[in-house]
Amino acid sequence: MAYLFVHEDREYLLEPGERFESDLGILEVPEDVAPGDVVETHLGTGFTVRALRGPDLFTHLKRTGAPMMPRDVGLVLGKTGISGGDRVLDAGTGTGILAAYMGRAGAEVVTYERDADFAAVARENMAVAGVADTVEIRTGDVTDDLDDLAGFDALTLDTEDAPTVVERAPTLLARGGSLAVYSPFVENTRETVAAAREVGLDGIETLDTIQREMDFDDRGSRPSTGGVGHTGYLTVARRP
Amino acid sequence: MAYLFVHEDREYLLEPGERFESDLGILEVPEDVAPGDVVETHLGTGFTVRALRGPDLFTHLKRTGAPMMPRDVGLVLGKTGISGGDRVLDAGTGTGILAAYMGRAGAEVVTYERDADFAAVARENMAVAGVADTVEIRTGDVTDDLDDLAGFDALTLDTEDAPTVVERAPTLLARGGSLAVYSPFVENTRETVAAAREVGLDGIETLDTIQREMDFDDRGSRPSTGGVGHTGYLTVARRP
Amino acid sequence: MAYLFVHEDREYLLEPGERFESDLGILEVPEDVAPGDVVETHLGTGFTVRALRGPDLFTHLKRTGAPMMPRDVGLVLGKTGISGGDRVLDAGTGTGILAAYMGRAGAEVVTYERDADFAAVARENMAVAGVADTVEIRTGDVTDDLDDLAGFDALTLDTEDAPTVVERAPTLLARGGSLAVYSPFVENTRETVAAAREVGLDGIETLDTIQREMDFDDRGSRPSTGGVGHTGYLTVARRP
Amino acid sequence: MAYLFVHEDREYLLEPGERFESDLGILEVPEDVAPGDVVETHLGTGFTVRALRGPDLFTHLKRTGAPMMPRDVGLVLGKTGISGGDRVLDAGTGTGILAAYMGRAGAEVVTYERDADFAAVARENMAVAGVADTVEIRTGDVTDDLDDLAGFDALTLDTEDAPTVVERAPTLLARGGSLAVYSPFVENTRETVAAAREVGLDGIETLDTIQREMDFDDRGSRPSTGGVGHTGYLTVARRP
């Protein structure tokens, strides 16, 4: 399990037994290193050891595309309530940020990624995030396995063919289970909503989220002049 | 532990041993009831038993004011990454939605509520949410106990005196731990940011979130004409 | 020409020669009444005479549907720069708010309204707005007259068949002239954009405007909790 | 009076009698040039002559800071209804975009700019915009002249000391006249609102406008991922 080694503004992700060189000297990571330890380089610079936390995942996971942003990951968690003991079916793993967050919240996650290289990176990422045991990454297309999947507490999709999967929500989900579909485009979102209506899901809702940073300086307080753009629409629904 | 008893559009929150009467007949909840059971009234109407999920908390917890909305609860979770094993200090419990979500994500939460009646309701709510063991609700003002509190993985505040608490973030938080402060007002948010800067927190950021629903009907797709208003600013930061 | 007669919170739109009764007495409007005059009822209550200004149009024109809102009228004016001496082709007159604003800014406007009753009301509204001479309201469908229309400085559309009209923009508009199309729906807007691209317009841009009121009270400053919903997308472009 | 000389993607602002050289040859602008003419360079490349329109002002006026954006200029026009025959008092001329728009809509504008160099540029800009006769730019601080100014149909302010001017709105404005104050900051806006309330203005409203572009491509329709940031709050009110 990897840890963060922090010295002032520097932050390195290293594993027990790893040897790391920088201008601050050579850092030999002890096999039994633990959060809270301070490890010194051969030049005497101390690095504090820290476990990765959720926000660190956005900085330290290997990216295989634009990962879902914290606000969208949070919106999925807030609207679905995925938590301890839940079984989640996820598709479109990508970097795996959402899967890692759900795993860290106590869910058992099965996630599908069609690209074998992306899936391999995502598996490494789950190890870094400490959820290798609870997040299973399957290489392949979830639509090929729909007959064998059933009774999940939540279904989270970030794939173009989400509408096809949503049509199967009544068997994929347990009663009361939640669906969350993330899509950048209106048309795809509309098809997802149509599929959710077709199969009789409840509480279907599509959210468009706009977020701005606030600036506070000596002249006053105001929303930032730097804009924050669109990420994606989130459609949620529940099996009645 | 209470469960939801669902029949078509009806949904009742009942405890084992409880006796419930409606026009559909008398429902005697068995002591050993479990999710998935179907329990019949004396008139023969079947109710399916279901565990509460996150989104049910917004419907079934007793409210002692406007509870935090799913998008804001989610934003706190997304930005702080609160998850299994984390120790969280929360203040301004209110209805307890945020505390319940954090507890369900595996965190141990200590939360302060100044109003004794609100605190009592929140304790009942934690029982309903299944987190009575991991969320401790203290009646009182967190500012009175700051000297005795330390080393939390996250600090979540929804109180007017948040700036006073933020000044103590360097001892309240473990290294890398996150702060999340929710406030409806610009002025209070500005003071929170000033306090966070004063004590040297990292990654200070205030988010203003605007959310609209999308409407999809035969005429086309568009954002809803019904507006969604402001809830609060969320300020996040981390202890370096 | 009608004027506003104002007494404290009351405001009536009356014409020279008109006789008006209320609990404050009978008001006989002199034929030669002028802004700034004070006219008394037979009971001695004075009403100050005032010309209608732009914002009064939203209150005092007769509505034949939801009129365009000030922010959208303004956006059309800001993005197209319609002003003194411009010739404007408008379609989908409705209440006529946009036509009145453009007329008051000095433009000569030809506007099409398919519904004869709506057109009649709009003509009355133009008289009230003081632009009966510069805004010509034609009852009918603009698409029937496209062969006879040419060389306008601006083309403003609030109709479902806007894409059909946009296809003719190269002859309808003078060089450098602007197109502004207002539509609530994504699909219709997309077709408008496709038509504008097809005929080679420049600077094609679709704007989605979200507007919130700010609340300032003793507790602080914040965006209103009452939401403001979507009105329409505005697509602008220019003939090169 | 300057005109635009357009050849394909090129667009130059030139005056009658001016001599202009580029790689396309030398262009001698005739003294009697008029919109619609085609003028050739000595190498035979034709430039079409075009009068400036509103949107051209954002491209061709000389900037002395960030000019007000079209959406904000439009919002001022939409909310105040400034139009033909109105007398407007404006302060914080800057580049003069708003003053030019108001002049082009038929208003007589007196505008104050404290910086003499900025005022000189703004005067040139008014000539380019064709409103040198109707927009008077005074070098100085409007607060020095408040005793001598009265009875305007509208008061438009983009200055830090707007609250001081707003306190005088009851004499500066005619009955029914509108105030529009543009400010980037919450605190300044709050003071403006307080001043407007203090002197009894009606319909006080502060608007926060968020605007996004929509993208339409082969993959679908969506709000742009490129963000549009905050410009300023607009506060409007009317003298009762």
Q: How far is A99 from chain D (nearest CA, A)?
A: 24
B170 in reach of chain A (CB within 8 A):
no
Nearest CB neighbour to A221, from listed D185, D222, D223: D185
pLDDT tens digits for B37-66? 999 999 999 999 999 999 999 999 999 988
Q: Looking at the structure, tell me whether residues D107 and D218 fall in a common domain.
A: yes
Q: Is C187 close to B220, i.e. CB distance below 8 A?
A: yes
Q: How far is A120 from chain D (nearest CA, A)?
A: 27
Q: Looking at the structure, tell me whether residues C172 and C74 fall in a common domain.
A: yes
Nearest CB neighbour to D224, from listed A187, A208, A229: A229
Mean pLDDT of D54-60: 94
Nearest CB neighbour to A208, from listed B104, B208, B214: B214
Which A residues 78-97 touch B at CB under 8 Å? 78-84
pLDDT tens digits for B112-161? 999 999 999 999 999 999 999 999 999 999 999 999 999 999 999 999 99
Cβ density class A140-168: b for 16+ within 10 Å, e for less: eebeeebeebeebbbbbbbbeebbbbbbb
B221 in reach of chain C (CB within 8 A):
yes
Alpha helices of B154-232 — where are they, by DSSP H? 162-166, 169-172, 186-198
C69 in reach of chain B (CB within 8 A):
no
pLDDT at D228 over 80: no
pLDDT tens digits for C83-93? 999 999 999 99
Chain A residues whose CB is inside 8 A of the D225 CB are: 184, 229-231
Q: How far is C106 from chain B (nearest CA, A)?
A: 32
D222 in reach of chain A (CB within 8 A):
yes
A76 in reach of chain B (CB within 8 A):
yes
The neighbour count for residue A136, using CB atoms within 10 Å, is 16
SS3 of chain C: the string is: CCEEEEECCEEEEECCCCEEEECCEEEECCCCCCCCCEEECCCCCEEEEECCCHHHHHHHCCCCCCCCCHHHHHHHHHHHCCCCCCEEEEECCCCCHHHHHHHHCCCEEEEEECCHHHHHHHHHHHHHCCCCCCEEEEECCHHHCHHHCCCEEEEEECCCCHHHHHCCHHHHEEEEEEEEEEECCHHHHHHHHHHHHHCCCEEEEEEEEEEEEEEEECCEEEECCCCCCCCCEEEEEECC
**Which chains would you list as touching A if contact means 3+ CB atom pairs under 8 Å?**
B, D
How far is residue D217's CA from residue D221's CA, in Å, rounded to a whole number? 6
Q: Looking at the structure, tell me whether residues A118 and A166 fall in a common domain.
A: yes
Q: How far is D225 from chain A (nearest CA, A)?
A: 4
Range of A32's domain?
3-50
Q: Looking at the structure, tell me whether residues B65 and B46 fall in a common domain.
A: no
C53 in reach of chain D (CB within 8 A):
yes
How far is residue D122's CA from residue D136's CA, in Å, rounded to a whole number? 10
Q: Is B186 close to C212, i.e. CB distance below 8 A?
A: no
pLDDT at D226 over 80: no
Confidence of residue A228 (pLDDT cuts 50, 70, 90): low
Q: Is B222 close to C230, i.e. CB distance below 8 A?
A: yes
User: Counting Cβ atoms within 10 Å, is residue C170 exposed (0-12), middle (13-18) or buried (19+)?
Assistant: middle
**Which chains would you list as touching C if contact means 3+ CB atom pairs under 8 Å?**
B, D
Which residue matches tokens 């190498």? D43
Q: Is D84 close to C106, i.e. CB distance below 8 A?
A: yes
pLDDT at C66 over 80: yes
CATH number of the domain within which C166 lies: 3.40.50.150
B228 in reach of chain C (CB within 8 A):
yes
Most confident listed range (A82-96, B225-239, D212-226)? A82-96
In eight-state DSSP terms, residue B182 is E
User: What is the pLDDT, as a whole number, of residue A65?
Assistant: 87
Chain B residues whose CB is inside 8 A of the C227 CB are: 226-229
Q: Which residue in A has a C-alpha nearest to residue D208's C-alpha?
A: A223
Q: Looking at the structure, tell me whether residues A154 and A225 fall in a common domain.
A: yes
B222 in reach of chain C (CB within 8 A):
yes
User: What is the pLDDT, as a whole number, of residue C227?
Assistant: 67
Which of C182, C218, C230, C235 best probes binding to B when mutated, by most B CB atoms within 10 angstroms? C230
Q: Looking at the structure, tell me whether residues B33 and B149 fall in a common domain.
A: no
CA dihedral of A64, A65, A71, A75, whole degrees rounded to 10 = -80
The CB-side HSE value for D104 (13 A sphere, CA atoms) comes to 31
Q: Is A227 close to D229, i.e. CB distance below 8 A?
A: yes
Number of structural domains (chain D) is 2
pLDDT tens digits for A126-147? 999 999 999 999 999 999 999 9
Q: Looking at the structure, tell me whether residues D129 and D21 fall in a common domain.
A: no
Confidence of residue A76 (pLDDT cuts 50, 70, 90): very high
Q: Is B227 close to C226, i.e. CB distance below 8 A?
A: yes
User: What is the pLDDT, as a whole number, of residue B123?
Assistant: 98
Q: Is A184 close to D224, i.e. CB distance below 8 A?
A: no
Q: Is D207 close to C214, i.e. CB distance below 8 A?
A: yes
Q: Looking at the structure, tell me whether residues B210 and B146 fall in a common domain.
A: yes
Q: Looking at the structure, tell me whether residues B140 and B44 fall in a common domain.
A: no
pLDDT at D180 over 90: yes
A218 in reach of chain D (CB within 8 A):
no
Q: Looking at the structure, tell me whether residues B218 and B125 fall in a common domain.
A: yes
Confidence of residue D134 (pLDDT cuts 50, 70, 90): very high
Q: Is D223 close to A212, i.e. CB distance below 8 A?
A: no
Higher-confidence residue: B226 or C207?
Answer: C207
User: What is the pLDDT, as a whole number, of residue C226?
Assistant: 77
Chain C residues whose CB is inside 8 A of the B71 CB are: none
CATH number of the domain within which A20 lies: 3.10.330.20
pTM of the model: 0.93
Q: Looking at the structure, tell me whether residues A84 and A202 fall in a common domain.
A: yes
User: What is the pLDDT, as a whole number, of residue B227?
Assistant: 67
Q: Looking at the structure, tell me whether residues D16 and D68 fall in a common domain.
A: no
Confidence of residue B1 (pLDDT cuts 50, 70, 90): confident
Confidence of residue D78 (pLDDT cuts 50, 70, 90): very high
